[in-house]
Amino acid sequence: MLGYSGMWHSLTRRIVEAGLAFLLILPSTVALAETLREQAISYRMQGYEAQRRGDHVDALTLYRKAAALDPTYPTPLNDAGVILEEQGRLDEAEQAYRQALTLNPNYLEAHANVAMLYERSGKKEQAVYHWMKRYQLGDPYDPWTARAEERLVALGVLKTYPGMKGKLYTRRRVVEQEFQTQAKSLEEFHAVTEEHPDWP
């Protein structure tokens, strides 16, 4: 029979062995996950090329393979949603967009796609929610941010959410002012270079 000291030594040895085994397995698990992500990205790119060629059946198959290889990768789900929507499979498209948003709640394209789907389906409140997300998360220079703003105005959000008008239009004003400043600077540059044609 082992004494207290012997039991402690045996337990410590087993913990160390388990820790070493974990450390040996961990790098291979990480490498496998990276390889699966790379394969998923490859399938997604092949699917995108098939979609561009108009081969939606092959594209959808490739997107599904990509999603199956890496269940944490939202892009192929969004892409599949686009094809499903084009095929009139609206429930499946909605499910694909929502799965993409579950994986990445800040996925701008999925918010815009599901917002358009909801708008076409007459689900105004859901469309407003996703257009608002797309607008709030979007870069002010992104044309889809402006598109989200336009849809929010068209859907009557300004009536529903008092005080939003300033927030909605501030971004547009800032961008317009920056474009005007850039255009003026370009005009001044051309005026100076015309005065001095010998400049390099």
What percentage of the chain's residues is helix, strand, coil (to nearest 5)?
80, 0, 20
- Please give the average per-residue pLDDT across 39-64, as a whole number: 95
Task: Determine the pLDDT at residue 2.
Answer: 53
Q: Which residue has the tokens 């920056």?
A: 178
Q: What is the pTM of this model?
A: 0.67
Task: Determine the pLDDT at residue 195.
Answer: 74
140 within some domain: yes
We report the CATH number of the domain holding residue 98 as 1.25.40.10
pLDDT at residue 27 above 90? no
CA dist., res. 105 & res. 28, Å (int): 29
pLDDT at residue 199 above 70? no
DSSP secondary-structure letter at 138?
A: S
More confident residue, 182 or 104: 104
The answer to whether the CB of 138 falls within 8 A of the CB of 144 is: yes
Last residue of a domain, one of 73, 104, 135: 104
Clarify whether residues 199 and 152 are in a common domain.
Answer: yes
Last residue of a domain, one of 51, 71, 104: 104
DSSP secondary-structure letter at 88?
A: T
Please give the mean pLDDT across all residues of the chain: 83
Task: Determine the pLDDT at residue 23.
Answer: 58
Residue whose C-alpha is closest to residue 116's, from 138, 159, 85: 85
Last residue of a domain, one of 77, 104, 131: 104
Clarify whether residues 74 and 50 are in a common domain.
Answer: yes
113 within some domain: no
Clarify whether residues 126 and 196 are in a common domain.
Answer: yes
pLDDT at residue 85 above 80? yes
More confident residue, 127 or 37: 127
Task: Determine the pLDDT at residue 6.
Answer: 64
175 is in which domain, residue-wise? 120-200
Task: Determine the pLDDT at residue 19.
Answer: 59
**Which residues does 119 contact at the CB level (< 8 Å), separation at least 6?**
127, 131, 151, 155
Clarify whether residues 94 and 155 are in a common domain.
Answer: no
172 within some domain: yes
CB count in 10 Å sphere of residue 113: 24
